[in-house]
């Protein structure tokens, strides 16, 4: 299977993987830079929503005594599993949608008419 090129000149599966590399930071970077490829833009937006949400959630949990602190300790393991899963799926060329977040990402990349 030959991967499609993107406006940045990389294979779309490589660019899709890179959208997750540094979490929401690379998600934002590729969402801004990639104008043409909907596969990469989808993964970039999914990265922004997923890892931005995890970041915000970890901040909030830090302020909640006991239960919040316990949940905040578990969050990095969940984030690591999601990070690996999403990078592998993007590299395989799959438009893997997380429940709820995947739909939100698709709505954000659709052109407004």
* pLDDT in 10s for each residue of the chain, 113 residues: 456 878 899 999 999 999 999 999 999 999 999 988 999 999 999 999 999 999 999 999 999 999 999 999 999 999 999 999 999 999 999 999 999 999 999 999 986 55
Task: Indicate the burial class of 86 (C-beta count within 10 angstroms; 0-12, 13-18, 19 or more).
Answer: buried
Domain annotation covers residue 58: yes
- Does a structural domain hold residue 6? no
> Do the domain assignments include residue 111?
no
pLDDT of residue 4: 80
**DSSP structural state of residue 113:** -
> Residue 1 has what pLDDT?
44
113 alpha-carbon distance from chain centroid: 25
**Tokens (6 digits) for 14:** 């490589």
Residue 22 makes CB contacts below 8 A (sequence gap 6+) with none
Q: Are 38 and 30 in contact (CB under 8 A)?
A: no
CA distances from 43 to 17, 61, 71 (A): 8, 26, 26
Would residue 1 count as lying in a domain?
A: no
Does a structural domain hold residue 7? no
Does 96 reside within a domain?
Answer: yes
Query: Domain range holding 71?
Result: 12-104
Q: Determine if the pTM surpasses 0.75.
A: yes
Greatest distance between any 2 Cα atoms in the chain? 51
User: Would residue 74 count as lying in a domain?
Assistant: yes
Please tell me the total count of domains within the chain.
1
Residue 5 domain flag = no
Residue 112, pLDDT score: 54
In contact, 72 and 62? CB cutoff 8 Å: yes
Locate 108 and state its tokens.
Answer: 């954000």
């Amino acid at each position: 299977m030959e991967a499609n090129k993107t406006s940045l000149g990389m294979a779309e599966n490589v660019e899709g993987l890179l959208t997750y590399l540094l979490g929401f930071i690379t998600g934002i970077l590729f969402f801004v830079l990639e104008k043409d490829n909907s596969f990469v833009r989808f993964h970039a937006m999914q990265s922004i929503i997923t890892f931005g949400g995890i970041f915000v959630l970890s901040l909030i949990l830090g302020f909640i005594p006991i239960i919040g602190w316990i949940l905040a300790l578990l969050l990095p393991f969940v984030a690591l599993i999601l990070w690996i899963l999403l990078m592998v799926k993007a590299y395989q060329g799959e438009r893997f949608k997380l429940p709820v977040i995947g739909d939100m990402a698709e709505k954000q990349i659709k052109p407004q008419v």
